[in-house]
Amino acid sequence: MKIILFGSPGSGKGTQAAMLAEYLNIKRVSLGDILRGEVEKDSQLGRKVKSYMEGGLLVPDNLVSRVIEENINIPGFILEGYPRNLEQAKRLEGILKKSNADVDFFIYLDIDQQIIINRLGKRRICRSCGANYHLEEESSEKEGICDSCGGELIQRKDDNPEVIKKRWEVFSNESKSILDFYQAKGKLVNIDGRGNKLEIFERVKKILR
C-alpha cells in the first residue's frame, strides 16, 4: 500500500504517519525528518536546506524530489511531508511510474489555522532522540526533560509564531492545486484533523478498511 499523508505544518501528519507505518508494517518516509537529519549532520545537503527551513520556506523542488527518490520504498510506504505542491506531485508521479506504481490514498488532515498555532507554538522536541511533546496536551514528566532518553526539550526555530504564520501562508497558497490534482485521480480522502491523535487515527483506519 502506498499512502501520502498531507496537511499543514502542525496538522499531526508526522504522528499519524508513524502510527500508520507500525499498524500496516510498511516504511515511513518523512521528508522533514530526513532534511532535519541532514542539517544536524551539517552535510552539504543540510547546509543548503537550513536557511529555507529556519525561514519557514519550502526547500526547492529539485532538492527534495531527489531526496524522496533516494529514500522511497516502491512496494509500500507512508509518505509524509511530500509532495507539498503540484510540481512535486507530478515529479512523484514520474518517480512511481518508473516502477509502474501509483499512490493508493492521498489523505488530507484538514484543520484550521488557530489550532495549528496552538499546537506548534507549544510543541517541544527532544534535542537527542527527536521525541515530540506538547506543553498542554502531552507534556514530559519533568519540565524540559525527555521521558525517553533524558535529553533536553527545545522549541524548533520554525515553531515561533511569526514563522508558523509564514508556513501557514505558504501551505495555503500551495495546497489547492495539489488537492485538486489528487481529487481528479480519485485518490483524495479528507480527514477531520481536530481532536487527539488516537481519535484522528481511528478516522484514518476507518477509511483504509
- Which CATH number do you get for residue 30? 3.40.50.300
pLDDT one-digit tens code per residue, 156-174: 887 888 888 888 888 888 8
**Among 64, 93, 88, 68, which residue's Cα sits nearest to residue 78?**
68
Rounded to an integer, what is the distance from CA 100 to the centroid of its chain? 25
88 inside domain:
yes
**pLDDT value at position 113?**
83
**pLDDT value at position 166?**
85
133 inside domain:
no
130 inside domain:
no
Residues of the chain under the 70 pLDDT cut: 56
129 inside domain:
no
Angle at CA of residue 192, ends 186 and 193, nearest 5°: 115
62 inside domain:
yes
**pLDDT value at position 7?**
93
Ordered alpha helix ranges (H), 72-160: 86-97, 113-121
124 inside domain:
no
Spatial contact of 116 and 171, defined as CB atoms under 8 Å apart: no
**pLDDT value at position 18?**
92
Tell me how many domains the chain contains: 1
Which residues are identified as catalytic?
13, 84, 123, 156, 167
Q: For residue 20, give its domain range.
A: 2-112+164-208
**pLDDT value at position 100?**
92
54 inside domain:
yes
Question: What's the number of CA atoms in the CB half-sphere (13 Å) around residue 67?
Answer: 27
CA dist 209 and 109 (Å) reads 17
149 inside domain:
no
